[in-house]
Amino acid sequence: MQEVDTGTNQEAETGNGAMSRRGFLQTVGGMGALAATSGLALNLLGRDADAAAVRPLPKSWDEEIDVVIIGSGFAGLSAAAEAASRGSSVVILEKMPIFGGNSIINGGGYNAWTDKLKLRQKLDRGDDSVELHVKDTLKGGDFYNDPELVRMMVEGSPVALDWMIDEGGLKLKEVLNRIGGHSAYRGHVTLDGTGRGFVYALKKIADRSGARMRLGTKVSWIWRKDPASPVLGVEVETRKGKRNIKVKQALIIASGGFGRDVKMRQMFNPSITAAFNCTNQPGATGEVIRFAQAIGADSLQLCFIQLYPTADPDSGTLDRYALYPSRSPGNGSVFVNKLGKRFVSELERRDNVARAEINTGMKRAFTVFGEKMIPKMTTMEEVNEGIAAGRVWKANTLAELAKQMDVPAAALEETVAKHNGYLKAGKDPEFNKPFTPQMMALEGPYYSVAQWPAVHHCMGGLRINALGQVIDIWGSPIPHLYAAGEVTGGVHGSNRLGANAGPDAVVFGRIAGANAAREKA
């Protein structure tokens, strides 16, 4: 592992009183020795040896389990399925009263360059490849991504998708979307348009393999003796009080990001203030990342926090209708501001769309699409439910639609006419949107949905290697510790492309689970 230059003098104390790398290692070594000789746990969150060694190691364990997994989303369930299928006893610890985490409320999108259903060929959605998906992901993350991890995700994505179909009974819509930042149509969607389809398929596989789940069980510490020792177990809070679980083979962290923790967000990115709503479930608070750091885990790119550009403007939720702005641009929809004018290429990446919306200075933007586009992205039944709920507007004319949106009718009509002309000419002189043969002109009946950015995904997290092992601050794997999903960093770089979270979590969850089960007890 290449060392990261921290900018400090490694041979001497710096002039401002900061500790050198050598001094830091010596101090941590002393802390480890203190913990080992006194029965105290490793805790690097303290400022000195005395403060660091404040947690006594358990004198006995309440129970022993081969593989313990923190979190019950895509990554946790995938890891559980793989580890249990290899004969390990597996328990998933979920602090919330329901399982699924952010995964169960996500948009149900999953990028794969191919699939066993051959949707690309069936729907005539053009070409795609491993190389193109890798290229898009690296470019979308401004090349801050780890190329090895990106390739593993892309290559493993179709395999994992077919696995969920075959083993979990996953059902997909007969659509294939092109999402902002992608140069091909590769976005698969669950039948109900949410992450529930993937979660239920994965839970079915995990249950059948013998994995067990405990809801309402919050991890409150990770036990490790010193910087050279393996992870020993976890402390958990239950309704009956605190208990200590010994991990015989491995601990897998799949606890997700920290989008709901405003203080932690602002520690790394002060611009992500409390003024932004959040699409995440309430348990996305990041404490397990801090516990892992306390036992020596390295982290990276924690400042990269994504705003989902098209959440519900009022609640910040990622409901079914907030997904239309993501799915419809590949079919020819337009984004407009409160003046009825376009302000960005609809196929830009999420961070650029969110920034463009904020820069309009007018809270609330809109996606406008036509009725012919609906079968390409969802069902008419679902759209009608959105109309009844007041989330989707419908009109036979643009003037009628503009009145419902409270935007100038003449401006909206001009915007749509221009965009139709650009599509026909195959060139967008305003925002350089790439047109494809699959896109269609905007024609009535017309539909619209309102949108605004909300905190959505943490691209940074714990550093892992290709085996899913968590890497420590000295560049070595922490024995018996793995991680997968949003809790990790390095896969997405500075910006996650839409529908890449699913394959990231499932692919690396499977890798972590399989390798954890190979550990010797």
- Which phi and psi angles does 61 have, rounded to 5°? -110, 140
Closest CA to 74 of 171, 205, 181, 192: 205
- Which phi and psi angles does 132 have, rounded to 5°? -70, -40
Q: Token pair for residue 132?
A: 């193109």
d(CA 505, CA 195): 12
d(CA 189, CA 449): 19
Judge residue 400's burial from the number of C-beta atoms within 10 Å of its C-beta, 0-12 exposed, 13-18 middle, 19 or more buried: middle
- 251 contacts: CB under 8 Å, gap ≥ 6: 67, 68, 69, 70, 222, 231, 233, 234, 480, 481, 482
CA angle 334, 336, 340 (to 5 degrees): 125
Closest CA to 281 of 306, 310, 317, 325: 317
Give bridge partners of residue 334 from the DSSP assignment: 368
Give domain 309-455's CATH architecture.
Alpha-Beta Complex (3.90)
Q: What is the pLDDT of residue 293?
A: 97
Query: Going along 129-184, which residue ranges are E strands?
Result: none
Maximal CA-CA distance, the chain: 78
Q: What is the pLDDT of residue 101?
A: 97
Q: Token pair for residue 34?
A: 């203190």
Q: What is the pLDDT of residue 38?
A: 55
Q: What percent of the chain has pLDDT over 70?
A: 91
What residue spans in the chain does CATH classification 3.90.700.10 cover?
309-455
Q: What is the pLDDT of residue 33?
A: 45
Which parts of the chain have pLDDT scores under 50? 1-37, 51
342 is catalytic: no
Q: What is the pLDDT of residue 102?
A: 97
d(CA 1, CA 465): 9
Which of 260, 350, 391, 510 is labelled catalytic? 350
Encoded amino acid at 154, one letter: V
DSSP letter for each residue of 388-414: HTTSEEEESSHHHHHHHHTS-HHHHHH
Closest CA to 417 of 339, 353, 340: 340
Contact 65, 248 (CB under 8 A): yes
Q: Average pLDDT over the chain, rounded to whole?
A: 92
- Model-level pTM? 0.89
Q: Token pair for residue 317?
A: 């939720």
Pairing of strands 365-370, 469-471: unpaired
